[in-house]
Amino acid sequence: MKIGTIVQANQKGQIVIPKKIREAFGITPDVPLNVVQTADGISLYPMKEMYCQPVSDQSPYLDILKKTQGAWVDEDWDSVRKKRKKIELAASRKRKNAW
């Protein structure tokens, strides 16, 4: 087993990557790290570039979202908030009067 710099995790499971190692790999607060679980432990890889597939109008995911958008899609949210506020205030008064 190869022994390098030993660090210890805090209560949240966080560790500090030593400055010497961060500098060697160009790890800054802007660089995302790929954390990989291996059979022997954990490996960290700084990611130089990330590629995302752009979402187009013909995306199958958009079709699924349109089909499953739910019953509230055509609701007027201002009226929903007003109705909800009236109902909540009435329930609050009822509880208060019960005491």
Give residue-wise pLDDT tens across range 1-59: 677 888 999 999 999 999 999 999 999 998 999 999 999 899 999 988 777 767 666 67
Alpha helices of 1-99 — where are they, by DSSP H?
Answer: 19-25, 60-67, 77-98
Tell me how far apart the alpha carbons of residues 44 and 31 are, in angstroms, rounded to a whole number: 12
CA angle, corner 31, sides to 30 and 33, nearest 5?
A: 135
Task: Delimit the domains of the chain by residue range.
Answer: 1-71
Predicted local distance difference test score (pLDDT) of residue 55 = 62
- Secondary-structure class of domain 1-71 per CATH: mainly beta
pTM of the predicted protein model? 0.46
Predicted local distance difference test score (pLDDT) of residue 1 = 61
